[in-house]
């Protein structure tokens, strides 16, 4: 039961295509996932189907399958993501070594998609203003083995003041009225109203104003929503361009999407396998490049040196940063984080405890291999017991990287007979 005001607007908006649009909302949803390049070669999965045309790492999967329960999901080998939601990052086109900001990043689908394209190189700032959603974002950054991300829980304007003219690419996947999710989420229908659309448009304008300050001269800004409302889509872009003459529309190669004005693109559910989405690509042609205060790195403690030498672990370019009780390995370009609400400043290595080093779960997920590895089959009783939190049989001694099907999933500590389980309690099944 879709809102009558919504239906009348869509009828006027789509004209002769309105009937096909309504029919598409009655069809079963197409579901998709995206493989994670940071975990190495993609596995062969029986439930994986045809590729998502606009995302090389994306595939549709059998709706009857439950890939979220597979051990590879826990290992961060893939992320369950709606196909159309993969489009904005395809248009953003982030590259390894760049500075990239995802301003409205939770729960982490687009951020981890960006991270996969950056291949662990460069600086990724991912932010979420809602504290609870920011924690979910941080957990997904960990699960997907992202080493070069600063995760913050800040107001966009705060970040604009701290990182003026700094980023090569900025994504604003803005909170919206969610019309494109009507087929997927009943709550989106219940929460919809014309007042909500107007409220979202105002909020999107504020976020875009902050985002404009983050982009360096020559940088790219991609604005996206999962709604059909022109006020939140083309209208928001037109208002932004009028207020920010330093930006111009930038047409890009996007043959799968319906082009619109100001280098905007629409994804219609009656034209492709996916939900509704909107995106616009903008280039900053003026302004000044900003300077930031870079955080000083620390000396890695001897406990880490001993641990890393024993397991043959080599870290990429970066710097050590203490944060809370943990030691992190941060991107070289990490700014001074004092005064920011930070959840994660990089790759968590672990904690120093007297004369020993205790590795973090994030480090295990990031590693592909090391000098002490125990591999269990993806459907084995051992890996099921490990995910449950039980001890598992192994002849390994000391800290041991537990893998399944060649993909790292956590730590164990062996005595030559069994591995003591170090899989985080909050993740155990």
> Is the model's pLDDT at 109 over the cut of 90?
yes
Span 373-377, mean pLDDT?
97
DSSP 3-state assignment of 388? helix
Burial 220-236 (b: 16+ CB within 10 A, else e): bbbbbbbbbbbbbbbeb
> Is the model's pLDDT at 354 over the cut of 90?
no
Q: Rounded to whole angstroms, how far apart are CA atoms 97 and 276?
A: 31
What's the pLDDT at 203?
97
How many angstroms separate the Cα of 226 from the Cα of each of 153, 185, 250, 278? 22, 12, 20, 6
> Is the model's pLDDT at 291 over the cut of 90?
no
Catalytic residues: 226
Span 282-310, mean pLDDT?
93
The percentage of residues in the chain with a pLDDT greater than 70, rounded to a whole number, is 100
What's the pLDDT at 183?
87
What's the pLDDT at 187?
87
Span 367-380, mean pLDDT?
97
Beta partners for residue 264, in sequence order? 280
Convert the pLDDT of each residue in 377-425 to its tens digit: 999 999 999 999 999 999 999 999 999 999 999 999 999 999 999 999 9
Residues with Cβ within 8 Å of 179's Cβ and at least 6 positions away in sequence, in order, are: 6, 188, 192, 226, 227, 228, 229, 276
> Is the model's pLDDT at 288 over the cut of 90?
no
At 269, list the tokens.
């559910």
Convert the pLDDT of each residue in 167-217 to its tens digit: 999 999 999 999 999 988 888 899 999 999 999 999 999 999 999 999 999
What's the pLDDT at 293?
87
Strand 99-102 and strand 167-173: pairing?
parallel
At 227, list the tokens.
């709604």
Q: Rounded to whole angstroms, how far apart are CA atoms 23 and 27?
A: 7
């Amino acid at each position: 039961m879709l809102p009558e005001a919504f239906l009348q607007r869509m009828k006027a908006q789509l004209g002769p295509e309105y009937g096909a649009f309504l029919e598409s909302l009655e069809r079963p949803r197409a579901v998709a996932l995206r493989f994670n390049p940071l975990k190495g070669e993609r596995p062969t999965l029986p439930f994986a189907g045809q590729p998502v045309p606009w995302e090389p790492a994306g595939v549709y999967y059998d709706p009857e399958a439950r890939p979220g329960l597979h051990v590879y999901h826990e290992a961060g080998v893939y992320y369950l993501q709606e196909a159309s939601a993969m489009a904005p990052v395809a248009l953003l086109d982030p590259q390894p070594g760049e500075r990239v900001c995802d301003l409205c990043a939770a729960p982490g689908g687009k951020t981890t998609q960006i991270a996969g394209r950056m291949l662990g190189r460069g600086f990724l700032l991912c932010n979420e203003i809602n504290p609870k959603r920011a924690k979910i974002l941080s957990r997904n950054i960990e699960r997907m083995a992202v080493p070069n991300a600063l995760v913050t829980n800040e107001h966009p304007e705060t970040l604009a003041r701290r990182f003026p003219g700094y980023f090569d690419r900025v994504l604003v996947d803005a909170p919206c009225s969610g019309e494109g999710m009507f087929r997927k989420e009943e709550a989106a229908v219940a929460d919809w109203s014309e007042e909500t659309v107007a409220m979202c448009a105002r909020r999107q304008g504020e976020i875009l104003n902050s985002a404009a300050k983050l982009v360096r001269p020559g940088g790219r800004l991609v604005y996206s929503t999962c709604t059909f409302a022109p006020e939140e889509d083309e209208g928001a872009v037109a208002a932004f361009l009028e207020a920010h003459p330093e930006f111009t529309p930038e047409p890009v190669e996007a043959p799968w999407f319906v082009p619109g004005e100001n280098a905007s693109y629409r994804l219609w559910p009656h034209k492709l396998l996916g939900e509704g989405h909107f995106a616009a690509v903008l280039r900053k042609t003026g302004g000044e490049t900003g300077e930031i205060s870079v955080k000083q790195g620390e000396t890695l403690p001897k406990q880490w040196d001993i641990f890393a030498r024993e397991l043959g672990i080599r870290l990429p370019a970066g710097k050590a940063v203490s944060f809370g009780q943990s030691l992190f390995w941060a991107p070289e370009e990490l700014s001074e984080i004092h005064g920011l609400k930070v959840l994660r400043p990089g790759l968590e290595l672990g904690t120093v405890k007297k004369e020993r080093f205790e590795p973090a779960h994030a480090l295990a997920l990031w590693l592909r291999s090391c000098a002490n590895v125990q591999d269990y089959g993806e459907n084995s009783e051992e890996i099921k017991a490990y995910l449950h939190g039980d001890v598992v049989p192994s002849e390994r001694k000391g800290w041991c990287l537990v893998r399944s099907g060649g993909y790292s999933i956590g730590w164990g500590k062996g005595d030559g007979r069994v591995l003591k389980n170090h899989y985080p309690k909050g993740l155990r099944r």
